[in-house]
Structure 1
């Protein structure tokens, strides 16, 4: 990697700021002053900026308990951005694998690894997602049967894939789906004559929301959790 690109990537500098730092003699490689922006940085090099070592930021995999009234984007679009909850280097390199609506809470997975997030969200992978759904009206046996068989959504050519439904109470269910259509859970309940009052995602694939995480809290995924998503 070119040294100016390395600085812009790992020191959070623009390319012009990186070149200025090089010109001003603020950058060293293995203790030697380097001013050439095209200098090739390898994995064996140790780069420092004004005496402070720069460590490459590897791929990151994060679990966040998304609070209500927050958005899964880098911009505060009328609501708080979930990225403002985390003080991390280069947040612009991170993205959400499977966004949630502003009023939906629960598990959000954040990463810098595009292949990993694609494996989670690609329709071809049929990654299961479990939601706890609170309903405006009591759910009927007929509605449960419809959800388990697949329902027709407005504007869609094909019915949804069969869902798994576990009834918790008259107005609360656990719904597991293997797709990720726009507003799918809300549209599915509307299709069977009900309405979602509140929605909370508990899992994606084999990754379960940590019960110890309060809304707004986050942690890095374990190696086993990361490996549970097959990128092949």
Structure 2
């Protein structure tokens, strides 16, 4: 067995079509074939020369690529939108690889979002147990008091969700406009997390920008611009996720 042999689920994830966890589910469900034979054993190892099909479609292994985008407001964090709205992929028009966004920023939010074709990388960054910190600059209506910050750390119930911020602080207050700018740090980001949390506390959100994702920042980018992550940055993000597994 040569060093080029890797686990089947990892090979599928590296193709960019899904995460390693989802690949494992597909294998166990009998949806994967190797050289024409259905494989259901997770320990199976394959080489780049093997013909691998997922749901009847041959996968094409791509070299992994990693990008950081400064998402503007009113752009969907997806590869397509049924309503025809602009999506993040539209902002990287000349990328040949089948990239997809890691997680989401809602339609009205801006800031740092990562894109890749590496399903395994995406999965480790998105999984809640890895708890990678994300920092948001948030403008709200009103001036939160001390009890609001305490409640944010303790957790705010909204439906079935408990919405928490591991840290939050005020950056500035505009008394005339009755608005505040806050720095809010999350480890787990549920759908519209900050908006729902602040609305429940009585401080509606006016703007949100994600400024930091783990070790990465928006330095040097303007809205709509993107750049490749350096090999060092990719390695650092892998390392960060590995260190903080709970």
Q: CA shift at 1:57, angstroms?
A: 4.7
> Is contact 2:165–2:184 with CA below 8 Å preserved after alignment?
no
Of 166, 172, 192, which aligns to 1:163? 166
Q: Which residues of structure 1 form unaligned runs of 5+?
A: 1-8, 10-39, 43-55
Which residues of 2 match residues 187-226 of structure 1 at below 5 A?
A: 187-209=196-218, 211-226=219-234
> Is contact 2:79–2:101 with CA below 8 Å preserved after alignment?
no
Q: Which residue of 1 aligns with 2:86?
A: 80
Which residues of 2 match residues 57-136 of structure 1 at below 5 A?
A: 57-76=62-81, 77-91=83-97, 93-136=98-141
Q: CA shift at 1:203, angstroms?
A: 1.2
Q: Which residue of 2 aligns with 1:178?
A: 187
> Is contact 1:79–1:102 with CA below 8 Å preserved after alignment?
no
> Is contact 1:150–1:163 with CA below 8 Å preserved after alignment?
no
Q: CA shift at 1:126, angstroms?
A: 1.1
Give the TM-score, by structure 1 length: 0.70
> Is contact 1:119–1:229 with CA below 8 Å preserved after alignment?
no
Q: Which residue of 2 aligns with 1:14?
A: none
| Partner Cα distance (1:212, 1:161) in 2 | 30
Which structure: larger Rg? 1
Give the TM-score, by structure 2 length: 0.66
Q: CA shift at 1:143, angstroms?
A: 0.8
Q: CA shift at 1:160, angstroms?
A: 3.5
1:152-207 alpha-carbon deviations (Å, 9 max, x no partner): 22222xx3445201210231100001102111111111221111101100111112
> Is contact 1:120–1:205 with CA below 8 Å preserved after alignment?
no
Q: Which residue of 2 aligns with 1:146?
A: 151
Q: CA shift at 1:148, angstroms?
A: 2.1
| Partner Cα distance (2:95, 2:148) in 1 | 47
| Partner Cα distance (2:157, 2:106) in 1 | 22
> Is contact 1:71–1:102 with CA below 8 Å preserved after alignment?
yes
| Partner Cα distance (2:230, 2:110) in 1 | 22
| Partner Cα distance (2:106, 2:171) in 1 | 23
Aligned residues: 177
| Partner Cα distance (1:220, 1:208) in 2 | 13
| Partner Cα distance (1:229, 1:135) in 2 | 30
| Partner Cα distance (1:103, 1:41) in 2 | 42
